[in-house]
Structure 1
Amino acid sequence: MRFQFPAWLGLICVCGLVSCGNTEENPISGPSQISLDGPDYFPANIAMPADNPLTMEGVQLGRLLFYEKKLSSDGTISCGSCHQQQKAFSDGKQFSLGVSDSIGNMNAMSLSNLHWQNKFFWNGRGASLEAQAVQPIEDQREMNLPIEEAVSRLQADSQYPSHFKSAFGTEEITSDLIGKALAQFERTLISANSKFDAWIRNDVELTTEEQLGLELFFTHPDPKLQLRGGNCSDCHLGFLTTGDPNGFSGFHNNGLDAEENLQMGLMKVTGNPFDKGKFKAPGLRNIALTAPYMHDGRFGTLEEVLDHYNDHIQNSSTLDVLILEANNELSDGSDAIKLHLSEGEKKAIIAFLHTLTDQQFITDSKFSNPFN
């Protein structure tokens, strides 16, 4: 018998393709508008920005810019340096190295299925994909190049003005257009061909262990009902396995640190003490490829991540209530916050997480470095 998803999951996974393409009834001139090629079980209610429709030329330009090392002060790194395709657009380091071996304080997030998100970076400071795309260029710990200099370098290039002309109808390069082109390419980074996706399409069966892991992943535990669960999908929602795209509701304090160590995260953006220690719940697509884990890369393996949620939650005033009250056993009266998963259940969840690996995504030539 196939696992029956909770009713709320069907509401999240509204069927329908995201469509922003041209039709024969409305012919257009200039850049060729294209549709975002998402599966019909991804939400269909996320609109493409009206001022940045997806076009073939814009995506091609964005891909060039994503791998363009001229956008770093010393010409040594690009966006693709810290977001490597074979690692699902992460980099395998706790903290990424920028120009002159400068080091940041956040783990490089994996990039996929970004159209279905609307707050970016671990603390949500990027209000749109377009705004997010240009911030690393100027960040002193990353590419360390004033955006005005980035514009000048591209404008002086023998080929980029014509690329911008094809994509946006003008050879005058601006920071706004750089962000739009990068965002267009990044929107095409869709990961939807894993074993999990094949299971959704009813093309394959999961192993017994993977099936158990799926059920645990998507179940909130309730010991009174003898309902065991891993509590994962309370934050990693639906078929996208990512946080809620609506506003800041996809940000959580997941018990990494005690009260006195909760100064980073969403509160840096909102100024609201209620947001202390809250970070974005990332999508878990290709999670087996994107170690280390958490905003600061503190965990090197998925086993360590499961051990944290099972046994090492730190209580604080802003700890997510869905974690605070999640337990697979009736309370023993202690103050410890534990899931009480068995070793077998933890292994099953990890087995399911491995079904989220999409080999096509990490090898697809249309996402690769065009300069190689």
Structure 2
Amino acid sequence: MKKCVYLLGSLSLSVLFSCNSSDSDYKAIDPYENIKATFGSNIDPENLYNYAGQQVPGYITKDNSGANPVTDKVATLGRVLFYDVNLSSNNTVSCASCHKQEHAFSDTAVASTGVNGTTTRHTMRLINTRFAAETHFFWDERALSLEQQTTMPVRNHGEMGFSGENGDQSFDDLILKLGSLGYYKELFTFVYGNDEITEEKIQQALAQFVRSIQSFDSKYDTGRAIAGNDGPPFPNFTQQENQGKDLFLRPPAFNQNAERINGGVGCAGCHRIPEFDIDPAVRNNGLIANLSGGGFDTANTRAPSLRDLVKADGTLNGPLMHNGQFATLEDAILHYNIISTANNNNLDNRLMPGGIGQKLNMTQDEVNALAAFLKTLTGTNVYTDAKWGNPFQ
């Protein structure tokens, strides 16, 4: 008996065959055996979900992908990593434990639970992360890129536990752990041509999957496509929703006491339409309370896109702000009605005209109109699309 190998080049990976000396008894070696055994029909290497070619409206112009644009193969690997509890030290926590698809990839808990404690700030939504000028991540922008951010929770003692400190295993231990799993050997070979696992590859894949998560099927997007720009009333909006849009867009005019005397409320000065991403130049928004309830937390300067703050039924996708302080859109809006400068040396200048904390003096009708407009930014597909769902289920 002798061994020989036949390569079937029509597949993404060559199929191997063993044969006897007469070449008469062939046995196929499936390069996707472990992928199929683990994920069944959820991942088909020969028929991947469309991550790279998703439709994006022409009026969306921001894109922070840089040198790591979304591809079907790498995003597929990222999906597996995102949902895999093996990325935590005790096999109980994945990225998706805190970023839940059914809640716009956020969490309903104020502080998400990790392997050794809780997070220090409320979990951000991951909607339209790609479509923003901001390239720093976390509330305090400590991660200089999405790629860098993706493995920081894995390396955190409290969150996923591969810190290499406080008795934790190191990230190198995680790489050895993943390398022992047959489906990763096949996936990394499928994606990168070899089964070598590195942190850079993990970061690249997770970032591509996160950037692939998009939501552009909202009532706002329908109206924007019809109107051609954001200025005129949208024909598919109610009067209240159009009032809220106008308030959101128009900057306020203040008197010498920082009291609004006319105009809108100027939300778009920081939350920029039509992506609704946060202006990278913003500073603190006036909310300085932290989750522990003691001291001041003025380092929070980043916000996720305002899209999908609520579900289609109007319920919140989780409490709002970095400390989860607000349980309704109206409460979050009212935070900006009167801004205090006390104990805050990092307050955004746009919130203190003339160096004085703004007093918008919004009426209840204006608050309700703004909330109605924000609800038009909600889509539906992102909550149920299988390409962003758990491949292990």
Kindly state the Cα deviation for residue 337 of structure 1 after the two structures are TM-superposed: 3.2
Tell me how far apart the structure 1 counterparts of residues 52 and 326 of structure 2 sit (CA, whole Å). 40
Tell me how far apart the structure 1 counterparts of residues 270 and 295 of structure 2 sit (CA, whole Å). 22
Tell me how far apart the structure 2 counterparts of residues 314 and 301 of structure 1 sit (CA, whole Å). 24
- Aligned pair 1:349/2:370, yes or no? yes
Residue 186 of structure 2 aligns to a residue whose secondary structure is helix
- Aligned pair 1:177/2:193, yes or no? no
Kindly state the Cα deviation for residue 264 of structure 1 after the two structures are TM-superposed: 4.6
- Aligned pair 1:94/2:116, yes or no? no
Tell me how far apart the structure 1 counterparts of residues 295 and 248 of structure 2 sit (CA, whole Å). 28
* Aligned pairs (5 A) from 1:35-46: 35=53, 37-43=55-61, 46=63
- Aligned pair 1:108/2:126, yes or no? no
Question: C-alpha offsets along residues 193-239 of structure 1, whole Å, 9 cap, x if unaligned?
Answer: 11111111118610000010011011111257964212211111121
Match of 2:335 in 1: 308
Tell me how far apart the structure 2 counterparts of residues 201 and 86 of structure 1 sit (CA, whole Å). 27
Q: Which amino acid aligns with 2:83?
A: Y
Match of 1:319 in 2: 347
Over the aligned positions, Cα root-mean-square deviation in angstroms equals 2.6
- Aligned pair 1:240/2:275, yes or no? yes
Q: State the TM-score, normalized to the length of structure 1.
A: 0.79
More moved, 85-94 vs 285-294: 285-294
Tell me how far apart the structure 1 counterparts of residues 177 and 55 of structure 2 sit (CA, whole Å). 33
Match of 1:56 in 2: 72
Kindly state the Cα deviation for residue 129 of structure 1 after the two structures are TM-superposed: 1.3
- Aligned pair 1:210/2:241, yes or no? yes
Tell me how far apart the structure 2 counterparts of residues 319 and 55 of structure 1 sit (CA, whole Å). 39
* Aligned pairs (5 A) from 1:142-153: 142-145=159-162, 146-153=170-177
Question: C-alpha offsets along residues 93-143 of structure 1, whole Å, 9 cap, x if unaligned?
Answer: 11111115x112100000021223411111111111111111111111111
Q: Which amino acid aligns with 2:382?
A: F
Tell me how far apart the structure 1 counterparts of residues 248 and 340 of structure 2 sit (CA, whole Å). 18
Larger CA Rg, structure 1 vs 2: 2
Match of 1:26 in 2: none
Q: Residue 254 of structure 1 contacts residue 319 of structure 1 at CA under 8 Å; is this kept in 2?
A: yes
Kindly state the Cα deviation for residue 54 of structure 1 after the two structures are TM-superposed: 2.6
Match of 2:138 in 1: 121
Kindly state the Cα deviation for residue 281 of structure 1 after the two structures are TM-superposed: 2.8
Q: Residue 255 of structure 1 contacts residue 313 of structure 1 at CA under 8 Å; is this kept in 2?
A: yes
Q: Residue 265 of structure 2 contacts residue 360 of structure 2 at CA under 8 Å; is this kept in 1?
A: yes
Question: C-alpha offsets along residues 328-369 of structure 1, whole Å, 9 cap, x if unaligned?
Answer: xxxxxxx66311111100000000111111111111111111
Q: Residue 70 of structure 2 contacts residue 212 of structure 2 at CA under 8 Å; is this kept in 1?
A: no
Kindly state the Cα deviation for residue 37 of structure 1 after the two structures are TM-superposed: 3.7
Q: Residue 288 of structure 2 contacts residue 297 of structure 2 at CA under 8 Å; is this kept in 1?
A: no
Match of 1:156 in 2: 180
Q: Residue 123 of structure 1 contacts residue 279 of structure 1 at CA under 8 Å; is this kept in 2?
A: yes
Tell me how far apart the structure 2 counterparts of residues 313 and 362 of structure 1 sit (CA, whole Å). 37
Kindly state the Cα deviation for residue 282 of structure 1 after the two structures are TM-superposed: 2.3
Tell me how far apart the structure 1 counterparts of residues 152 and 288 of structure 2 sit (CA, whole Å). 28
Q: Residue 58 of structure 1 contacts residue 184 of structure 1 at CA under 8 Å; is this kept in 2?
A: yes
More moved, 282-291 vs 205-214: 282-291
Report sequence identity in percent.
Answer: 36
Kindly state the Cα deviation for residue 144 of structure 1 after the two structures are TM-superposed: 0.8
Tell me how far apart the structure 2 counterparts of residues 112 and 217 of structure 1 sit (CA, whole Å). 20
* Aligned pairs (5 A) from 1:29-40: 34-35=52-53, 37-40=55-58
Tell me how far apart the structure 1 counterparts of residues 385 and 360 of structure 2 sit (CA, whole Å). 38
> Would the alpha carbon gap of residues 126 and 47 (structure 1) be closer, same or farther in structure 2, given more than 3 Å must change?
closer
Q: State the TM-score, normalized to the length of structure 2.
A: 0.75
Which blocks of at least 5 consecutive residues in structure 1 are unaligned?
1-28, 266-277, 327-334
Tell me how far apart the structure 1 counterparts of residues 286 and 52 of structure 2 sit (CA, whole Å). 42
Kindly state the Cα deviation for residue 262 of structure 1 after the two structures are TM-superposed: 4.5
Tell me how far apart the structure 2 counterparts of residues 336 and 76 of structure 1 sit (CA, whole Å). 45
Tell me how far apart the structure 2 counterparts of residues 159 and 174 of structure 1 sit (CA, whole Å). 16
Tell me how far apart the structure 2 counterparts of residues 262 and 242 of structure 1 sit (CA, whole Å). 25
- Aligned pair 1:280/2:297, yes or no? no
Residue 165 of structure 1 aligns to a residue whose secondary structure is helix
Residue 198 of structure 1 aligns to a residue whose secondary structure is helix
Match of 1:190 in 2: 214
Q: Residue 251 of structure 2 contacts residue 263 of structure 2 at CA under 8 Å; is this kept in 1?
A: yes
Tell me how far apart the structure 1 counterparts of residues 96 and 357 of structure 2 sit (CA, whole Å). 42
Residue 108 of structure 1 aligns to a residue whose secondary structure is coil
> Would the alpha carbon gap of residues 284 and 336 (structure 1) be closer, same or farther in structure 2, given more than 3 Å must change?
closer
Question: C-alpha offsets along residues 24-63 of structure 1, whole Å, 9 cap, x if unaligned?
Answer: xxxxx9999944542211115x36433x343211111110
Q: Which amino acid aligns with 2:301?
A: F
Kindly state the Cα deviation for residue 314 of structure 1 after the two structures are TM-superposed: 4.0
Match of 1:22 in 2: none
Tell me how far apart the structure 2 counterparts of residues 264 and 140 of structure 1 sit (CA, whole Å). 24
Q: Residue 164 of structure 1 contacts residue 173 of structure 1 at CA under 8 Å; is this kept in 2?
A: yes
Match of 2:325 in 1: 298
